[in-house]
Amino acid sequence: MSDNKVILNYDGKAFEYPIIESTIGDRGIDISKLRDQTGLITLDLGYKNTGATISDITYLDGDNGELYYRGYPIEQIAEKSNFTEVIYLLLNGSLPTSDQFAGFEKGIKKYNFVADEMKRLIDVFPRSAHPMGVLSSLTSALTAFNPKAVDVTSKEDMDHAAEMLIAKFSHLCAWTYRKKMGLSINHGDDSLNYVENFYKMCFRRPNQEFHLDPVVVGALDKLLILHADHEQNCSTSTVRMVGSAHTGLFASVSAGISALWGPLHGGANQAVIEMLEMIEKDGGNVAKYVEKAKNKDDNFRLMGFGHRVYKNFDPRATIIKKAADDILNSLGIEDKALDIARQLERVALEDEYFVSRKLYPNVDFYSGIIYRALGIPTEMFTVMFALGRLPGWISQWKEMRLHNDPIGRPRQVYQGAQKRDYVEMNQR
């Protein structure tokens, strides 16, 4: 039986701190009294060893490469569920009955419309604008058109705001795609399910009959499921931090979108394809780029490789890699980038540098191959990640508010100047 407390010996005294139990995975030392009792704080750059909250939504086992949404393994969810059901599961904690599912779908469709003034907003952006910047701005602007869904405090109001954001966000994502492609934007089709409607809002051409390709819809649905939530990652922690100030849901998610944009986080799916295209242009010399990634004097990194938690295969990468094969075969597409990705993976996983640092392909390594096969432009890949991650952001924000987590305000170890007096300009 493991101890239920830890003892810190400091300044000739022994201080006891209780251990917070988990159902699975990391147990945590409760240091909430540490500074009052010892005058010390902890320092943990990047929070690699620090729990920010207690959660029951998603669990990752980084050593064994396992991921559970509300306890259900991602492999079973990806194979048997659909994105709308996953949204319900993450938000409510259990799989819906058929009546609950129908009611949830209906609740989302109630908001399947975005104010026309928002269309004028998107018109002012240059076509060259990065879609993530457009999406973050539009999401924050939603607040102006839905003031009642801002600072919600009751569970019912949170669920209402969640349904509203889930419905409207898919429109905003589709609109950023249409903007990038120079196409007119539209309001979608309520006769379709969530993913079909998103797909049609993106790909409908005004002058052609629209055909819903089940292979494409199936691939999109699976990719959105695989991105739906992932514990306290950088963008989710941002949503929680901003929301802890009781900022509204839409503005909190807008901040999360900006965090996800970074190439070390969600922006990696775009960076992977750009890396693969660069290697292809450079004659496909994979070994050269693996060496560059190992060279400390070279700031090149193997994008799509490595993870803060997974020190084994990212289970999502395993599923996406197989899906990439299936979808490219089904659509009859040959993609050189996929061949290069496979070679890169093989060379890296045999190299001591990557093996010793437990660097494996992550969710972003293969996802761009599929998005590209579906005709989605590279700059839109992280918008696709954001659409997938939306239910995770909302569920984690809702949990943070319902648990009454305090406003986030970390401490620091100060190494700046000692106290000193001001010096007049003519004395310096």
Tokens (6 digits) for 277: 């295209």
116 backbone dihedrals φ, ψ, rounded to 5°: -60, -30
Encoded one letter per residue, x for contact with ligand SDX by CB under 6 A and - for no contact, window 298-337 reads: ---xxxxxxxx-----------------------------
> Is residue 211 flagged as an active site residue?
no
What minimum distance in Å lies between the beta carbon of 302 and ligand SDX?
Answer: 4
Within 26-45, the residues that bind ligand SDX by CB under 6 A are none
Quick check: 7 and 19 in contact, CB under 8 A? no
Is the CB of 86 or the CB of 303 nearer to ligand SDX? 303
* Beta carbon of residue 253, minimum distance to ligand SDX (angstroms, whole number): 14
Q: How many residues bind ligand SDX (CB under 6 A)?
A: 21
Tokens found for residue 225: 């499921």
What x-and-dash track marks residues 161-190 binding ligand SDX by CB under 6 A? ------------------------------
Distances (CA, A) of 383 to 58, 141, 174, 198, 379: 22, 17, 9, 12, 8
Least spacing, CB of residue 182 vs ligand SDX, in Å = 30
- Pick the closer one to ligand SDX by CB: 356 or 426: 356
Interaction with ligand SDX in 355-374: which residues (CB under 6 A)? 357, 359, 362-364
Kindly report the number of other CB atoms within 10 A of residue 27's CB atom: 12
Is residue 364 annotated as part of the catalytic site, yes or no?
yes
- Nearest Cα to Cα of residue 146 among 156, 125, 132, 160: 160
Q: Looking at beta carbons only, is 188 or 243 nearer to ligand SDX? A: 243
Of the listed 189, 364, 403, 405, which one is catalytic? 364
For ligand SDX, the binding residues in 46-65 under the rule CB under 6 A are 46
What is the rounded distance in angstroms from the CA atom of residue 145 to the CA atom of residue 138? 11
- Residue pair 263/303 in contact (Cβ under 8 Å)? The answer is yes
Closest CA relative to residue 251, chosen from 158, 132, 144: 144
Q: For residues 148 and 111, is the Cβ–Cβ distance under 8 A?
A: no
At 306, list the tokens: 């490595």
As measured in angstroms, the least distance from the Cβ of 87 to ligand SDX is 16
Q: State the nearest-atom distance from the C-beta of 84 to ligand SDX, in Å.
A: 20
Q: Is 90 in the site for ligand SDX (CB under 6 A)?
A: no
Residue with smaller CB distance to ligand SDX, 87 or 359: 359
C-alpha separations of 210 from 189, 199, 200, 327, 363 in Å: 12, 10, 8, 20, 31
67 or 149, CB closer to ligand SDX?
Answer: 67
Q: Is the dihedral of CA 235, 241, 244, 249 positive or negative?
A: negative
Distance CA 241, CA 247 (A): 9
Amino acid at 322: K
Least Å distance, CB 9 to ligand SDX, is 30
Residues 6+ apart with CB under 8 A from 203: 210, 375
CB-wise, 304 or 391, nearer to ligand SDX?
304
d(CA 69, CA 257): 21
Candidates 227, 265, 307, 314; catalytic one? 307
Q: Which of residues 213-242 bind ligand SDX (CB under 6 A)?
A: 230, 233
**Positions marked catalytic:** 307, 364
Contacts with ligand SDX by CB under 6 A lie at 46, 230, 233, 264-266, 268, 293, 301-308, 357, 359, 362-364
